[in-house]
Every structure is written in structure tokens, then in C-alpha cells.
Amino acid sequence: MILGASSFAGSFCEISSELQSVELYIPQLDVYKGSILQKDILSSVIDEISVFDLKTSVHAPYFADVCTYPSDMNVDIANMGDRDFRLINESIDIGAELGSKVIVIHPGRYGSDRHASFNSMVCNLRYLADQAEDSGVMLGLENKEGTSTGNMCCDARELVKVVDEVNSDNLGVTLDIGHANLTCGGNDIRLRGFVDFLSPYIVHVHVHDNNGMWTDRYDGDEHLAPGLGAIDYHVLQEIKGYRGIYNMEVFSMDDVCMGKRTIKQALNGL
């Protein structure tokens, strides 16, 4: 198994001491000023990563309506302009330069006409998948949490429908187990069915915990250390033949160490 953590969990040195991979969380990697990529800072970050024996993935900008997320980095895949395409293409380029396993992207949000939003998202993803193919990288479209209104691709079937309609070898699914648990209301049987249905499409996995219910804190999407919430991580065994990264989206190295133990025990059937 390949275990990793997002770059906001700790320094590259700290992450490399415990894990085999790091996910560069582009919106808060301090390589942008507003929406403009600072290439000299990015070059320094890439040089720093190169010191360590770490595999990489990249988390591209997305849409978030919270004060902790930089508003200049908001990208809605269902409603994209030139700036938005540039931001995602820059993440693709960063991933290609690093030899990253996957570029994680979020699905779009629906407006007054959900059908139109869906079709626009598929059209934009076709273009982005072509860019990914040209750059030799894989895109992983992430399932979102069903506790937050406006999100598309919370349901596993809608997510698969998008991937099937785009029909590209360079677009698969990033399974976010925390988001799936919220969508499934903390029900273990529903969660196992969710993961099993997505299994053939999964190219990347995000791991974090929650209690499976809406709260006024991030709509319940708390990103707890695996083992501190309601998820039974044996559900990861439902992903058949997976050889990719299990990336922990947690906020500290203490959370990383706890999550590492939880995931290893679950995947080893303990």
C-alpha cells in the first residue's frame, strides 16, 4: 500500500518520515498571488520536494464558500472561464513536471438548471481530460459530500455517469471516503455499496473521518484523523485490485500517525 498525506498536514520532511507520498494542495501551497502563479516560488517548492523520496499527487483548485479558502482560487467545473481553465491546466502542468500519479479535481455545482450544469461540467471535463492526456497525467474526479447543497456527483451513480460520458482513459474517480460517509448518512452497509459500485473507476483515494451527519462545522466534513469518527475502514477492502495512493486529508502529523495505524490495520484485516 502507498500511504500519503496532504501538504497541509506537515512539512515535506515530516511527511517523508512517516509516509511514501504527499499531495500538493495547490489552493494553500503559497505558490499563487491572487490567481497568478508565482513560478519562482513553485520552482523552490519543487526543488524542496526533490530532496525527499516521495511520490506525489496534486489537488487542483476548486469551489469553496468558506473563509479559510482563498476566493481567488475558486473554480466551478460546471461554470468555467479562461481564468478557471488556466488554473486547472497549471495544476496539470505541475503534476506532469513532478510525475504525479493523479491530479484531483472537484465536480461542479448546479444552478437553477441542473441538467444544463451537468452538461456543461461534462463538456469542460472532456477538454481537461484531453489536456491531461497531452501531459501524460490522470485526472481523478472526486465525489462530494451530500450534506452540502449545490454539489454534483455526491451520488456514486451520477459520478460514474460523468466519467462514462467523458469517456477518456485520463479521467477516473478519486474516492473520498469521508465525503461518501456523509452522503451515506454514516450507514456502513450503504457506504460499502457506494465503494463497491465505484471500485472499477477508482484511481486515487482520500481518507479522513467524520460522524456521518451534517453539523454546522463544514457541513459535517470535519476531516478528522481516521479512527476518530464513525467510519469502519475495512470498507477500503471493497476497492478491488487497487494499487494507488491512500492520501490522508488531515491537519496534523499526530492525525497522520493515527490514520496510518488505522488504515494499515483495516487493509490487513485486523
Specify the pTM.
Answer: 0.97
pLDDT of 37 over the 80 cut:
yes
| Residues 87 and 35 sit within 8 Å (Cβ to Cβ) | yes
| Residues 4 and 245 sit within 8 Å (Cβ to Cβ) | yes
Q: What's the pLDDT band for 149 if we cut at 50, 70, 90?
A: confident
pLDDT the model gives residue 220: 87
pLDDT of 270 over the 80 cut:
no
| More confident position, 147 or 74 | 74
- Provide the 10 A C-beta neighbour count for residue 37: 18
Across the chain, where does the E strand assignment appear? 2-6, 21-25, 32-33, 36-37, 55-59, 103-105, 139-142, 171-176, 202-207, 245-248
pLDDT digit string (tens) for 109-124? 998 999 999 999 999 9
Q: Place domain 2-267 in its CATH homologous superfamily.
A: Divalent-metal-dependent TIM barrel enzymes (3.20.20.150)
Taking the domains of the chain in order of start, what are their residue ranges? Answer: 2-267
- Residue 109 DSSP code: B
pLDDT the model gives residue 84: 98
pLDDT digit string (tens) for 194-243? 999 999 999 999 999 999 998 887 888 999 999 999 999 999 999 999 99
